Amino acid sequence: MKLLEQKILREGNVLSETVIKVDSFLNHQIDPVLMREIGAEFTDRFAGRGITKILTLESSGIAPATMTGLAMGVPVIFARKRKSLTLHDNLYTAEVHSFTKKETNEISVSKDYLSNEDTILIMDDFLANGQAVSGLMDIADQAGAKLGGVGIVIEKGFQDGGKLLRKQGIQVESLATIASLSDKQITFHKERAL
Ligand code: G4P
Ligand code: NA
Ligand code: NA
């Protein structure tokens, strides 16, 4: 997605060989116009998949997931990372280990909002090693829901998550795929021809 790649080039801050900061439009401040375009793009890419719900993880997955849910006309669920005061049992839970942050979080979704009649689109802001997506797949699985695909705003193609998911036959759509962050330079994978 050209618009997104341009935004990353203009505003992304390369912190290291493996991490890019995009706080100005995705992880802190949100660019609603860009999010709307992102929602439209995912809607095109997953058309015909019979998506009934979007499942993401708080917090940075929520904005792109919400705009996609608006465009598709389906609800959006975000898994919680912390136990909520009002959410106690009746939960699907999964463990998510972050290699980037070196911590493990338990994520949870109420059983009220997922069922075996759902076809889920899993979404997130970043795809690195795929641990968050795996945790969300685990939760969809516990609910007996079908997986319709995985939608990612920025994939780090030099980490293994995307490869592992595609190897399982899952439709993974990333709107920008970073090939390298070496020498403070952002290089993208060529966009597939549409
Ligand atoms: P994984 O799920 O693919 O294995 O990813 P990983 O554990 O590495 O990611 C942990 C957190 O770091 C996630 O955010 C993820 O979105 C974020 N992240 C990973 N790589 C990058 C990067 O290069 N740049 C930025 N800006 N973020 C990255 P989180 O802890 O869930 O936080 P939140 O922002 O969703 O609240
Ligand atoms: Na995230
Ligand atoms: Na994040």
Does an H or E element contain 20, and which?
strand 20-21
Instruction: Return the DSSP state at 190.
Output: P
- Identify the pLDDT of residue 87: 59
Residue at 37: amino acid letter: E
Phi then psi for residue 115, to 5 deg, are -145, 175
> What SS3 state is found at 157?
coil
Cβ-based neighbour number of residue 116 at 10 Å: 8
ipTM of the complex: 0.94
Q: What CATH code is assigned to 2-188?
A: 3.40.50.2020
Residue nearest to atom 22 of ligand 1 (CA): 19
Structure confidence by residue, pLDDT tens digits, 47-81: 999 999 999 999 999 999 999 999 999 999 999 99
For residues 74 and 52, the answer to whether their CB atoms sit within 8 Å is: yes
- Identify the pLDDT of residue 98: 87
Instruction: Return the DSSP state at 27.
Output: I
- Identify the pLDDT of residue 179: 98
Q: Which residues of the chain have pLDDT under 50?
A: 193-194
127 CB near ligand 1 (under 6 Å): yes
Strand partners, 109: 92
Q: Which residues are in the CB-under-5-Å shell of ion ligand 2?
A: 60, 125
Q: Which atom of ligand 1 is nearest to the CA of 58?
A: 35
